[in-house]
Structure 1
Amino acid sequence: MNINGTTKTICLLGHPVKHSFSPNIHNYLFEKYDKNSVYVCFDIKERNLKNSIDGIKALGILGCNVTIPHKVEVIKYLDEIDVNAKLIGAVNTIKNEGGILKGYNTDGMGFVKSILDKGNDLTNKKIMIIGAGGACRSIAVELASNDVSSIEIRNRSEEKAKEIANIIKNNFTTETSCSTEKIDKKALENIDILINTTPIGMESDLCPIDESLNPQNKILVCDIVYKPHNTSLIKWAKKHNLEVVHGVNMLINQGLHAFNIWTDIKPKDEDIENIKDIYKKINNITFD
């Protein structure tokens, strides 16, 4: 990559961001498609979010990704919101169009593609989502768009979970419910897919569920946390011979869509495999 006086910047805003694989994704794509741009990360506390968004305009930054914990709060500082992002109520991608900042959400599409790529069908499936933040919003809307039967949201705060449940109820036929109760064996028996959308497990051995649970049905277990690759939730699932979807699959898929938004270039299928190879080398792992 040849950085010079005309190099443009695209960035990630979040807290924390030191774990991010996004620079590897986008700097690979910029180089491959001969775009004179560089992708960097900015660790932004919530009190500094507005100033950071103002800085995108002031510095002429072409766009950015937005991650935990800013995906919902950032909306109030943008000029325009894509229709789907408005429905979701969360933004993870921003494009600077001549000083007009427009927000998009690629999380849900990236997540659903990760499930479909493994040969799974979502029609009439019963879903349980842990967490009720921006990622949950986007994933729940996209799952409802793919005709899942029901979505149950488990979260410490019932208020946030109800907000997302109401979005689904008002726009789709998918049944929705929410609860603050801990997940037990009976809860697992009533679902097809379990999804963690919280940061629990990020660079730690914490698990969002009780690891002593012994599921009797073959559920699909998904974690949007991608570092470590095998989170405690993923390890628990593998211990019980359950099929899993790792967080890095969603990260790559949503990243490719964000790249398309910024550049109007649609990455090729080979780019997914090349990016996975980069990820494997960095983390010394193999994919399932």
Structure 2
Amino acid sequence: TMQDQRADINQQIQELRTIISLQGDAPLASVGCPHTCGLCCGTLGSRLGLRGLHWAAVGLPLPSGCLVTLPCSPASPRVCFQMAREKLQNDVFDRVNVCNMLLYELRQRDRALEELQRQLHSLQWPHGGFNPASSQLSQESQEPSLMQMIRQLENNIEKTLMKVRTGQKVTTLYLAVRDVLKKELAHLPLRLNVLDRMVEVYQGELKGMELMALDAFKATDTAKVRPRPRTPLPGARAHGDPAWTALGSQAIDSSCNQV
């Protein structure tokens, strides 16, 4: 995390400060022996390693002056020590610059994080900054509206479930009607065949009726063409008819009696 990185950087700065303070005591340790310079450099390197300065975490290699002794002659031990000291100072200054750069980046990231947190708080509470008391009051004031929203959501869920059940019933009814229509459709060819035969029978009967009507028309036409027999006259009918004869004799007898 950011706090752990900051603690590591502070620890590294303290270790670098201790190394710089040790540089003042280094000439006393190098007097009297031509090999003291190499021993001092090795001691500083071991102290750097023992104090837990993690150079790999910074991203730079460990300075070679702290690991390898410089060649020095018995005539010039002070020159050798000065070279080692300058090399160590350069390495320390480089590491201090790296630490400063990391601290600067850390501060920049802290500022960016604070800005993002402010933006988040402004989005969560648009009418003001973050305040625990105000947030608690706002939560208490928002509880009725939240309960109302929950009830509204429950009602919407119930309505949706009712619609789903209605849709399931409609689907079941539709499937049943479809099955019935399929069965009816399977029987339709037989019914069509029966109707076709009935149509053929009706057509035959119609033709027979047409022939009968044609014969009747022909008979009426022939009857109209034949001559009619003559009807007898009334006098002839009276002379020939016995009823008329009886009536005539009765009339004659009645006229004689009157005379």
Q: When the two structures are superposed, what TM-score results if normalisation uses the length of structure 1? A: 0.17
Q: Computing the radius of gyration over CA atoms, which structure comes out larger, 1 or 2? A: 2
Higher strand share: 1
